[in-house]
């Protein structure tokens, strides 16, 4: 006997645009155009060009199947010692699992931009996102790049067009900014889990005018990413194309603690990615403290964040301490599980290995929020970590299960 079920699909959230975007940083121009790579006709080629050289650092996917543009951009960044003149992006096709032709195509995109701007090819970076395993339609890409170059502008609207041309399955545009004295930190990103046959890559571009050298950026970016983009768990998959770039015109003198102004922007962007988990209704911040080491804390937090049972409980506003704590109990990194306490939205639901007599209905109401915090407290040592996860509801299944030709 087969039965049917009617379920509510959550509304798509909307967020006000940020006050500043990439082109708000002086000396940075951008464009986003329709090149016909996407069947939908939506914008799919984005270009960012700087009047003066940008200091740059990047973090790239560690997936064994790193896509051609990742291979090329990493090599260019190395050869140019972190000096960048332009970034070209296409959406609708990830240029991943495309063999040697894929690398030639990614290189050709950089060469075309290099010729247009008049700088060496290693000063151009390239990113792609979209379907994998399909060769790039290079005629369309080439025409798109020419068009984007003509439309480069320093308007705020041009920055927004850049953003719209990097999006794929995103339900909403993602941008964030901070004003730090005379300096700006701006960022845009795309990403929302992975939809067949697209592996919906995370791409993030942050542009600032803080005066930071490329080597300094490189060191700081790892720790910035650890508390932001690398703390997002929407799925266990990292894509073939994930790329985070931090770029600076270096026009405004900055203090030694410049990174603490960049980190909140990165965090906001990564929160938006988690919020856009397919069919997500909330972002849950899982904080582990008291683990033996930070590494142990991260492993425990990730184990909790990756559980489909935990994520469905979050979707259902179910204060299900058993699911949260049993995942901690499953973690080999835990030393003294009996000391575990668990605080959900400020309510202690589990103390020293046993449940408390908390008010389940009140806890459930507290979970009905766009922002949920789950604190897992151990007494193993000083290790702590934070991971963001999206919840898992009917819409996730709908988006991910339906077979489409």
309 interacts with a second copy by CB under 8 A? yes
Restricting to residues 183-202, which ones interact with a second copy according to CB under 8 A? 193-194, 196-199
Nearer to a second copy, 81 or 365 (CB): 365
Nearer to a second copy, 2 or 256 (CB): 2
Whole-number CA gyration radius for the chain: 22
Nearer to a second copy, 181 or 355 (CB): 355
One symbol per residue from 64 to 103: x for binding a second copy (CB under 8 A), - otherwise; what is it? xx-------------------------------xxx----
CA distances from 210 to 59, 203, 244, 276, 277 (A): 19, 21, 18, 29, 32
- Exactly one of 256, 257, 346, 403 binds a second copy (CB under 8 A); that residue is 403
- Using the rule CB under 8 A, give the single segment among 35-43, 105-113, 286-294, 389-397 that binds a second copy: 389-397
358 interacts with a second copy by CB under 8 A? no
Query: Look-up: residue for tokens 């701007």?
Result: 117
- Exactly one of 153, 154, 293, 326 binds a second copy (CB under 8 A); that residue is 326
Query: Look-up: residue for tokens 């291979």?
Result: 71
Pair 57, 204: CB distance under 8 Å: no
Per the DSSP assignment, residues forming a β-bridge with 58 are: 245
How many residues of this chain bind a second copy (CB under 8 A)?
Answer: 77
Restricting to residues 4-43, which ones interact with a second copy according to CB under 8 A? 4-12
* Axis crossing angle, helix 138-150 with helix 99-117, rounded to the nearest 10: 20
Nearer to a second copy, 209 or 278 (CB): 278
Contact residues for 390 (Cβ-Cβ < 8 A; gap 6+) = 193, 234, 274, 275, 276, 277, 278, 280, 282, 283, 284, 311
The catalytic position among 23, 98, 186, 201 is 201
Residue 103's nearest CA partner among 145, 141, 73, 147 is 73
The answer to whether residue 201 is catalytic is yes
CB of 349 to a second copy, least distance (A): 10
Residues comprising the chain, all counted: 405
- The one-character DSSP state at 137 is -
- Exactly one of 239, 270, 289, 345 binds a second copy (CB under 8 A); that residue is 239
CB of 164 to a second copy, least distance (A): 21
Nearer to a second copy, 154 or 356 (CB): 356
135 interacts with a second copy by CB under 8 A? no
Distance between CA atoms of 358 and 374, rounded to whole angstroms? Answer: 15
311 interacts with a second copy by CB under 8 A? yes
238 interacts with a second copy by CB under 8 A? yes
Distance between CA atoms of 43 and 322, rounded to whole angstroms? Answer: 46
Q: Give the CA diameter of the chain.
A: 70
Hey, which residues are catalytic here? 201
């Amino acid at each position: 006997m087969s039965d049917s079920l009617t379920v509510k699909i959550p509304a798509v959230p909307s967020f006000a645009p940020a006050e500043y975007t990439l082109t708000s940083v002086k000396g940075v121009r951008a464009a986003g155009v329709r090149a016909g790579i996407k069947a939908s006709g939506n914008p799919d080629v984005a270009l960012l060009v700087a009047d003066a050289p940008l200091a740059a650092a990047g973090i790239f996917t560690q997936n064994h199947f790193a896509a051609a543009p990742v291979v090329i951009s990493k090599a260019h960044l190395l050869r140019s010692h972190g000096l960048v003149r332009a970034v070209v992006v296409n959406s609708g096709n990830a240029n991943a699992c495309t063999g040697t032709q894929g690398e030639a195509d990614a290189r050709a995109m950089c060469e075309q931009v290099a010729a247009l701007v008049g700088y060496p090819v290693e000063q151009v970076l390239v990113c792609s996102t979209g379907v994998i395993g399909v060769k790039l339609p290079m005629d369309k890409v080439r025409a798109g790049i020419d068009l984007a170059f003509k439309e480069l502008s320093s308007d705020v609207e041009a920055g927004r067009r850049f953003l719209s041309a990097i999006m794929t399955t995103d339900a909403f545009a993602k941008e964030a900014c901070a004003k730090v004295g005379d300096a700006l930190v701006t960022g845009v990103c795309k990403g929302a889990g992975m939809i067949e046959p697209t592996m919906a890559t995370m791409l993030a571009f942050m542009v600032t005018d803080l005066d930071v050298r490329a080597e300094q950026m490189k060191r700081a970016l790892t720790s910035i990413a650890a508390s932001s983009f690398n703390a997002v768990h929407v799925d266990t998959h990292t894509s073939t194309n994930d790329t985070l770039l931090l770029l600076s015109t270096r026009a405004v003198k900055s203090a030694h603690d410049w990174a603490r102004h960049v980190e909140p922007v990165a965090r906001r962007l990564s929160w938006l990615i988690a919020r856009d988990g397919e069919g997500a209704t909330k972002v849950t911040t899982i904080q582990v403290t008291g683990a033996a080491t930070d590494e142990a804390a991260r492993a425990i937090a990730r184990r909790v964040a990756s559980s489909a049972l935990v994520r469905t409980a979050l979707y259902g506003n179910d204060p299900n301490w058993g699911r949260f704590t049993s995942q901690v109990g499953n973690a080999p990194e835990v030393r003294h599980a009996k000391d575990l306490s668990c605080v959900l939205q400020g309510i202690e639901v589990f103390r020293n290995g046993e449940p408390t007599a908390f008010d389940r209905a009140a806890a459930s109401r507290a979970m009905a929020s766009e922002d949920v915090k789950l604190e897992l407290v151990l007494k193993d040592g000083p290790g702590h970590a934070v991971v963001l996860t999206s919840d898992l509801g009917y819409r996730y299944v709908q988006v991910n299960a339906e077979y489409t030709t």
